[in-house]
Amino acid sequence: MTKILTFINRGKNVESLHEVKCLVIDKKKQSLLSTGDNSKIIFPRSSIKIFQAIPFIESGAVTSLKLNPKQISLACSSHSGENFHIEELKRWFDKLPLTINNLKCGIHNPINLDASNDLLLSGVKPNQLYNNCSGKHLGMLSSCIVNNYNIKNYLSFNHPHQIKIRNVLELFSENKISKKNFGVDGCSAPQYAFNLKDLSIALLNLVNSYKSKFKYSDEVRLMINSILNYPQMIGGTNRFDNHLIKSCNKKLFCKGGAEGVFLFAHLKKEIVGIVKVVDGNERALPSAVSTILKKLQITTPNENKKLSIWISSFIKNHAKNITGKIFTEIK
């Protein structure tokens, strides 16, 4: 059985390590890499936002609101709250008959430290648009408005829009979601647990949909092409997921989620993978994912060069002195 460990070294000694679970399959559903126990249940968190956004695209809100590809990408994002994110979100929000408190995602400072500091120095308090999930919530509310659904309880498990999202997830994963696997995400939206096998099937069907071999192909192509053309919108400056998309020259779609979850799909090779850091520490993800892609030769030598800063990266202290490094071993 394959074992994946991400190490944090200080000097010449291992200071910490993170166990990583993984399942990678090809277009024939054959396993290319597995750490075993693919029936293990995980919450994919924000990594499944592209699936959650399908009913929003299907609703026709993109056309009726004249939304652009950057805003479509934001509907699938966990953005850093940088100016270029907030500007597009405000343009989108201003098209809707809403007040800011209609967004039930909550408020937090921008993920990007520079953006957070700039906001603090300006004296402006963050609102719901700065929440990294605000694009997803604008997508949900836009769909509700177009469909004349009640917007007050749009996050209820039994709301018509949430039922549509659940139906999409069941369709792509080819499995029924049990009520015992219901949960609530950090932004208060419904969240669902899946095992690694069902998530891999959902990702493979996403690739099939992109290639017009599965349902919702128009919606999926619109979203993925928007993300591939504007990867900075789903993350932000120095974020791994958009760096990986850029490094692979639009051949690979990926999305991370809280508690150390990462999904990737190579659109040309039709290979998909799920990565989960067991202890939830997200610092292990870039090295683990990059090492997996390199080992399976999913990424090219030239792409691996671009990803080298993530495969094995130095750790620096506040004085910018190197104190150790992060790297991953697959055995």
User: What is the spatial distance between Cα 43 and Cα 193, in angstroms, rounded to a whole number?
Assistant: 4
Q: Which of 210, 254, 211 is nearest to 231 (CA)?
A: 254
CATH value at residue 225: 3.40.710
Quick: pLDDT tens for 19-30: 999 999 999 999
| pLDDT value, residue 1 | 80
Q: What are the distances in angstroms from CA 35 to CA 103, 274, 278, 292, 293?
A: 39, 11, 12, 12, 15
Q: What are the distances in angstroms from CA 5 to CA 19, 132, 260, 327?
A: 5, 29, 13, 9
| pLDDT value, residue 207 | 98
Q: Which of 43, 129, 45 is nearest to 80 (CA)?
A: 129
Q: Which of 239, 221, 258 is nearest to 85 (CA)?
A: 239
Q: What are the distances in angstroms from CA 242 to CA 5, 34, 50, 78, 254?
A: 24, 25, 14, 11, 8
Q: Encoding tokens for residue 312?
A: 């094995």
| pLDDT value, residue 281 | 97
Residues of the chain with pLDDT under 70: none
What's the domain count of the chain?
Answer: 1
User: What is the spatial distance between Cα 206 and Cα 254, in angstroms, rounded to a whole number?
Assistant: 11
Structural domain harbouring 293: 4-330
Is there a contact between 127 and 109 (Cβ–Cβ < 8 Å)?
Answer: no
30: phi then psi, degrees, rounded to nearest 5: -85, 135
CA 182 centroid distance within chain: 19
User: What is the spatial distance between Cα 122 and Cα 112, in angstroms, rounded to a whole number?
Assistant: 15
User: What is the spatial distance between Cα 245 and Cα 254, in angstroms, rounded to a whole number?
Assistant: 7
13: phi then psi, degrees, rounded to nearest 5: -115, 150
Quick: pLDDT tens for 233-282: 999 999 999 999 999 999 999 999 999 999 999 999 999 999 999 999 99
| Cβ neighbours of 12 (radius 10 Å) | 6
Beta bridge partners of 8: 16, 326
